[in-house]
Amino acid sequence: MRNKHFFTDKVVIITGASSGIGEALARQMAALQAKVVLAARSTEKIEAIAEELGSNALAITVDVSKENDCQRLIEESITHFSRIDILVNNAGISMRAAFEDVDLQVLHRLMDVNFWGCVYCSKYALPHLLKSKGSLVGVSSIAGYVGLPCRTGYSASKFAMNGFLETLRAEYQYQGLHVMTFAPNFTASNVRFSALTADGSPQGATPRKEEKMMSAEDCAKCLIKGLRHRRKQMVLTLLGKLTVYFFRVFLPGITRKTEYKMMFNEADSPLRKF
């Protein structure tokens, strides 16, 4: 392992840290002797995790869709730890509904959390990351490269995140800022249980076989590897890489049909009405 002390005493802010990839990343970073800031709306969950991780962990209740919360997150992190080395914009929500049926407030909610949450946190963390020549990460998705049926708001928010981060990478390329777009494929987490339906209510059940997906722990290990090597972009799993490659370079039409079939075959798929 290259430089086993790479993360020692580095200050890492992780949004969406109450479960899934965010929680797994917080635990692994703490094991690598990093100082971890856990940010999420679920106060009890992040405080319990922070207590487990010890004195080098700090829990801050944050709704990333609110600019003032994001500003406070950065300010309290600086007050407590004096610096920021890594910001991982992981907080996100999903959706599953045909566009003709969906309440447009659902799309607003997706953009507020997935895109604007990343923008707000990045804006206030940027001066500190430039000072430390640190890392800015956006946890995106394959849906940020290829539009997925019945995920209009989700794909749009992740495409927007990717464009935002790509622009920051270009803008600060000579100032030592590392920007990484991190795109898991389907990962076992509660994101599908809480995915919004057409009227904005959570679907409450997953339409996919969670046990066959990459675990949040394995996903977090990949993210840490990307940080260690200051990777610009990571697309996880062979299926994810092939999907992005075939859509961009080779057979976009066939890729769209394959995606449609996949989404059509999900349990209770909204596509079955067509």
Nearest in space to 90 (alpha carbons), one of 34, 24, 151: 24
Average pLDDT rounded to a whole number, residues 155-181: 96
Does the residue 162 lie in any domain? yes
CATH number at residue 224: 3.40.50.720
Q: How many domains does the chain have?
A: 1
Residue 17 domain flag? yes
Which pLDDT score is estimated for 236? Answer: 85
Percentage of the residues of the chain whose pLDDT score is greater than 70: 79
Handedness of CA 271, 194, 224, 86 (dihedral sign): positive
Which tokens hold the place of 170? Answer: 């270009």
User: What pLDDT, on the 0 to 100 scale, is given for residue 259?
Assistant: 61
Of 50, 51, 52, nearest to 36 (Cα)?
A: 50
φ, ψ for residue 95, nearest 5 deg: -155, 165
Q: Tell me: the pLDDT tens digits for 116-140?
A: 999 999 999 999 999 999 999 999 9
Which helix or strand (DSSP H or E) is residue 137 part of?
Answer: strand 135-139
Asked whether residue 150 is domain-assigned, the answer is: yes
Cβ distance 227 to 181 under 8 Å?
Answer: no
**DSSP category for residue 246:** I
250 in any annotated domain: no
Report if residue 149 sits inside a domain: yes
Confidence of residue 48 (pLDDT cuts 50, 70, 90): very high
Distance of CA 131 to the CA centre of its chain: 24
Per-residue pLDDT tens over the stretch 56-93: 999 999 999 999 999 999 999 999 999 999 999 999 99
User: For residue 266, is it within any domain?
Assistant: no
> Residue 149 sits in which domain range?
11-244
| Beta-carbon count within 10 A of 80 CB | 12
Q: What's the whole-number average pLDDT of the chain?
A: 88
Q: How confident is the model at residue 243 (pLDDT cuts 50, 70, 90)?
A: low
Residue 110 to residue 160: CA distance in whole angstroms: 11
State whether residue 180 is helix, strand or coil: strand
What pLDDT does 1 receive? 45
Round to whole Å and give the CA distance between 264 and 252: 18
**199 part of a folded domain:** yes
Residues 145, 154, 172, 174: which is the catalytic one? 154
Domain assignment of residue 116, yes or no? yes
Q: Are 117 and 140 in contact (CB under 8 A)?
A: no
Annotation marks residue 154 as catalytic: yes
Q: Which is nearest to 114 in space by CA: 96, 127, 95?
A: 95
In this predicted structure, what is the pLDDT of residue 131? 98
Q: What confidence tier does 143 reach under pLDDT thresholds 50, 70, 90?
A: confident
Q: Is pLDDT at 114 greater than 90 in this prediction?
A: yes
Decide if 118 contacts 138 (C-beta within 8 A). yes
Bigger pLDDT: 196 vs 250? 196
Tell me: the pLDDT tens digits for 28-46?
999 999 999 999 999 999 9
pLDDT of 263 reads 60
Using the 8-state DSSP alphabet, how is residue 237 labeled? S
